[in-house]
Amino acid sequence: MTLPVDPLVLLAFVPAALALNLTPGADMMFTLAQGLKSGPRAGLAANAGIAAGGMIHTLIAGLGLGAVVAAHPAAFDVIRWGGVVYLLYLAIMALRSGPLGQGATVAPRPLGRVFLDGMLVNLLNPKVILFILAFLPQFVDPTRPVLAQFLTLGVVFATGGLLVNGAVAVFAGGVGQRLAASDAIARWLGRVSATIFAGLALRLALMQRG
């Protein structure tokens, strides 16, 4: 069976994608915040949601719809400001959650909701689809089925993100679990998470299309 992507191209893509996965960014910071506040399982759920959002972006780019977002400033800005509002909402929720009172564990959250948060934060970041439109086509052969190549490269990139950010989620969750033994520190964990979410919102608000 013929692979959608030439094996030599894939061999060149893997280290490039992994290098980008290892670069700290919004996805890593979001996973870190969820892990600190709600434990490693929440961090991993957020990570999975981010990967799912990335695959949806890849599908959109492969179908050619991403070019529409890139070419129309109004569409870009609507998505961007939606992301800003949602991140600020998450920051407020992190501040309001507070400690559990027993001081034994980090504050739990439904994993399905955390997954959805991660996916929405990724989907509401229009810079992701612009990045995909700039990065993936470098490894796409126009003589082969384009959508199949986009999806294959997207899976490889998402897998690297799952591994790297998954390690961040487990580490942050372990740290958060230990620190949450103190109610005072648990409150600070909420503030740290809220600060990260607010910082990501500010970053998105100041984002330029270019």
118-157 pLDDT, tens digit per residue, is 999 899 888 788 888 888 888 888 888 888 999 999 999 9
pLDDT of residue 104: 45
Q: How far is CA 43 from the centre of its chain?
A: 11
Task: Classify residue 199 by its DSSP letter.
Answer: H
Q: What is the distance between the alpha carbons of residues 176 and 103, in angstroms, rounded to a whole number?
A: 12
CB 10 within 8 A of CB 3: yes
pLDDT tens digits, one per residue of 69-105 = 667 778 778 878 888 888 898 888 777 765 444 444 5
CB 201 within 8 A of CB 90: no
Task: Classify residue 108 by its DSSP letter.
Answer: P
Q: What is the distance between the alpha carbons of residues 3 and 5, in angstroms, rounded to a whole number?
A: 5
pLDDT tens digits, one per residue of 38-64 = 889 999 999 999 999 999 999 988 888
User: Mean pLDDT for the chain?
Assistant: 83
For residue 38, give both structure tokens.
Answer: 């709600």
Of 105-114, 119-128, 160-169, the one with minimum mean pLDDT is 105-114
Q: Is residue 30 predicted with pLDDT exceeding 70?
A: yes
CB 86 within 8 A of CB 120: yes
pLDDT of residue 98: 53
Q: Which range among 57-71, 158-172, 183-197 has the greatest average pLDDT?
A: 158-172
pLDDT of residue 100: 42
The confidence band for 166, taking pLDDT boundaries of 50, 70 and 90, is very high
pLDDT of residue 39: 86
Q: What is the distance between the alpha carbons of residues 156 and 55, in angstroms, rounded to a whole number?
A: 10
For residue 148, give both structure tokens.
Answer: 């199949």
| Half-sphere exposure (Cβ direction) of 127: Cα atoms closer than 13 Å | 17
pLDDT of residue 86: 86
Residue matched to tokens 């989907």? 123
Alpha-carbon separation of residue 148 from 1, 3, 134, 145 (angstroms):
14, 9, 17, 6
Concatenating the DSSP letter of every residue in 116-162 gives: HHHHHHHHT-HHHHHHHHHHGGGG--TTS-HHHHHHHHHHHHHHHHH
Q: Which one has a higher pLDDT value, 172 or 118?
A: 118
The confidence band for 182, taking pLDDT boundaries of 50, 70 and 90, is low
Mean pLDDT value across residues 17-44: 87
